[in-house]
Structure 1
Amino acid sequence: MRHPEYQYLDLLEQVLDRGDQRLDRTGVGTRSVFGALVRFDLSDGTVPVLTTKRVYWKLAVKEMLWFLTGGTNIQPLLRENVRIWTDWPLAAYRRATGEDISQEAFERRIVEDDAFAARWGELGPVYGKQWRRWLGVDGAEHDQIAALVKTLRENPASRRMLFHAWNVGELAGMALPPCHMVYQYHVTSDGRLNCLLYQRSADLLLGAPFNFVGAAALQLMLAQQAGLRPGELVWVGGDVHLYLNHVEQAREQLAREPRPFPRMTLARHARSIDDYRIEDFVLEDYAPHPPIKADVAV
């Protein structure tokens, strides 16, 4: 059987060879295709942590756990050594103050100074806010994650088991509108939990590998909370692109042969969806190729 990672590599090659080249919001420029689908089977215990380059999977899982808290400030992330969201508030701070502060100094101030973090570490009503505290027109807050867990347990045949983050009324206040925006779930008659993730905008080199890991980790958590077994993870991309400053890195990755996917397990049965910690996630047999460095386009 062909290694499932080739789905990702084939998509990478397709974007390189046939992607439409154009200027994008960041000014860096992209090559992109519209509409893509990959499928990963989690039922054998493996998870799609790419092997043709090292993926820092703990950062992706920590990010997912942060989303589940409903948080929108980068201070807790930085205290967990997760720096993937710093670029946006740092750029906003530099624009507003004119101070050419280094990323390291900015992050140190966020970690050490609560007042500074409250003012400059806030991302607006991004993922966690929408997942856990979606504001209805009546002023009531809706916890989409809690509702999903309840439905998985009580009505697993439902076709309404989903949550999303594209809240039109709050997009303007977000540092970055949601990319992985809709997660829908499906339970088979033999108790397997499947997930379909729709990602409207996918940075194929840097973003998508993290999103695969985060979605798989969430699927394991939800399956455990509902007494189910992980099934298939289906990822659907809208605008799937490579930034022009990632082209050489993509070619380097394409020259590598995939290695077996690792296995991920949960070390304990958490009391609720809010009770998971990074220490609960155990990854075994991960032996990837070396990392490939690339800059984030802001």
Structure 2
Amino acid sequence: MRESHFLQDIILTETHASSAPHYEQQYLDLMRHIWSHGDERIDRTGIGTRSILGATLRFSLADDAVPLLTTKRVYWKVAAREMLWFLTGDTNIRELVRQGVHIWTDWPLDAYRRATGEAIDRDSFEARIIEDIEFARQWGDLGPVYGAQWVNWPIYEPAGDGLYRKAEKGRNQIADLVNAIRSTPGSRRLLFTGWNVAEVPQMALPPCHMTYQFQVAGGKLNGLLFQRSCDLGLGFAFNIFGLTMITRMLAQQCDLLPGEVVWQGGDVHLYLNHAALVEEQLSRVPQGAPKLRIHRRPSSIFDYRIEDFEVLDYSPQAHIAAPVAV
């Protein structure tokens, strides 16, 4: 009887181990649920979505793991360049375009077309942004988005007669965060946010990945992102990579090991014109275990370069194209 129970325990353990789902399966399950059961609605873009409110996904970062989607190719260097750009505090697309990153161009391009009536194509618009600094200043700025809030949150100082003026230098939330992780690792205030209520109307796009929070536990750094709005078909892949990247950078700067990342979505949606993307991706089986390596520890979190990052063992299935809703 004892031997029988022992053998049964072995069988159950082996079955459980062999049936452990791939980390990406939770993403695909969420996609399937939203496509089948999400509330269909007309959204800001006029395209329409299927949407739910509230979702949570968790991913381990042990052994350099990175939760890159494998059921389609994710151009992770684009996401990495964007994250490094955020940390500079820059809000003009010129530097991104110079690096071949086009993910923010549609918003200023749309504004330029509406303001001038000129039917300029994206390539021509970007060429002018690179070649003409004055044109870039006028038409390439996105307003006080992400990086402006992360490293230069506006603060105000007395100007006399009960008035206040905006200080030349704002609050650097990222520098404050690094110091706080090092000095008060048990704090529940290890976070930064891009949602500045007073400046949201001036932004080309209010922050979707709006608040990041961190926790030190057992010598490891865990990272959480609350995303008020998530385009699950296109945006999520970049957002989860960005969360992983900033968590790994913070851990390295604070002499901690990376633990896990937790992604929380508010309005999580799929666009109705992404049917081909959804159906193709759900037909694929996730596989592989890519790793993210950081080859250098710079003197500060603001001094990383794109060459410092490398993704290994990433063999995704083919890219799936889909339109971006502006």
Q: Distance in 2 between matches of 1:92 and 1:63?
A: 21
Give the superposition deviation at 1:75.
0.3
Q: Distance in 2 between matches of 1:182 and 1:136?
A: 19
Which of 36, 50, 54 is residue 69 of structure 2 equivalent to? 50
Alignment of 1:232-271 (within 5 A): 232-271=260-299
Q: Hey, what does 1:161 align to over in structure 2?
A: 190
Q: Distance in 2 between matches of 1:168 and 1:153?
A: 29
SS of 1:269's equivalent in the other structure is coil
Structure 1 residue ranges (4+ consecutive) displaced by more than 2 angstroms after TM superposition: 136-140
1:88 aligns with 2:88: no
Q: Hey, what does 1:283 align to over in structure 2?
A: 311
1:231 aligns with 2:250: no
Which of 143, 146, 163 is residue 172 of structure 2 equivalent to? 143
Please tell me whether the aligned partners of residues 50 and 261 of structure 1 are also in contact (alpha carbons under 8 angstroms). Answer: no
Q: Distance in 1 between matches of 2:79 and 2:137?
A: 23
Quick one: which amino acid aligns to residue 163 of structure 1?
Answer: F
1:30 aligns with 2:24: no
Q: Hey, what does 2:135 align to over in structure 1?
A: 116
Quick one: which amino acid aligns to residue 226 of structure 1?
Answer: C
Quick one: which amino acid aligns to residue 19 of structure 1?
Answer: G
Give the superposition deviation at 1:45.
1.1
SS of 2:110's equivalent in the other structure is helix
Q: Hey, what does 1:214 align to over in structure 2?
A: 242
SS of 1:15's equivalent in the other structure is helix
SS of 2:137's equivalent in the other structure is helix
Q: Distance in 2 between matches of 1:117 and 1:109?
A: 7
| Gapped regions of structure 2 (runs ≥ 5) | 1-19, 158-165
SS of 1:151's equivalent in the other structure is helix
Give the superposition deviation at 1:27.
0.6
Q: Hey, what does 2:209 align to over in structure 1?
A: 180
Provide Cα deviations, 1:230-284, integer angstroms capped at 9, x if missing partner: 1110000000000111122111001101012300010111110111011000110
Please tell me whether the aligned partners of residues 28 and 244 of structure 1 are also in contact (alpha carbons under 8 angstroms). Answer: yes
Give the superposition deviation at 1:137.
4.1
Please tell me whether the aligned partners of residues 224 and 243 of structure 2 are also in contact (alpha carbons under 8 angstroms). Answer: no
SS of 1:52's equivalent in the other structure is coil
TM-score normalized by the length of structure 1: 0.98
| Gapped regions of structure 1 (runs ≥ 5) | none
Q: Distance in 2 between matches of 1:214 and 1:65?
A: 10
Q: Percent identity?
A: 58
Q: Distance in 1 between matches of 2:64 and 2:295?
A: 13
Provide Cα deviations, 1:206-237, integer angstroms capped at 9, x if missing partner: 10111011111111111110001111100000
Quick one: which amino acid aligns to residue 247 of structure 2?
Answer: Q
Task: Name the count of aligned residue pairs.
Answer: 297
Q: Hey, what does 2:224 align to over in structure 1?
A: 196
Q: Distance in 1 between matches of 2:41 and 2:282?
A: 22
Please tell me whether the aligned partners of residues 62 and 259 of structure 2 are also in contact (alpha carbons under 8 angstroms). Answer: yes
Quick one: which amino acid aligns to residue 21 of structure 1?
Answer: E
Q: Hey, what does 2:161 align to over in structure 1?
A: none
Alignment RMSD: 0.8
Quick one: which amino acid aligns to residue 115 of structure 2?
Answer: A
Quick one: which amino acid aligns to residue 126 of structure 1?
Answer: V
Which of 97, 109, 119 is residue 100 of structure 1 equivalent to? 119
Q: Distance in 1 between matches of 2:123 and 2:99?
A: 15
**Greater Rg, structure 1 or structure 2?**
2
Provide Cα deviations, 1:143-168, integer angstroms capped at 9, x if missing partner: 00000000111111111000001100
Quick one: which amino acid aligns to residue 196 of structure 1?
Answer: L
SS of 1:34's equivalent in the other structure is strand
Give the superposition deviation at 1:44.
2.2
Q: Distance in 2 between matches of 1:202 and 1:242?
A: 8
Quick one: which amino acid aligns to residue 86 of structure 1?
Answer: T
SS of 1:142's equivalent in the other structure is coil
SS of 1:169's equivalent in the other structure is coil
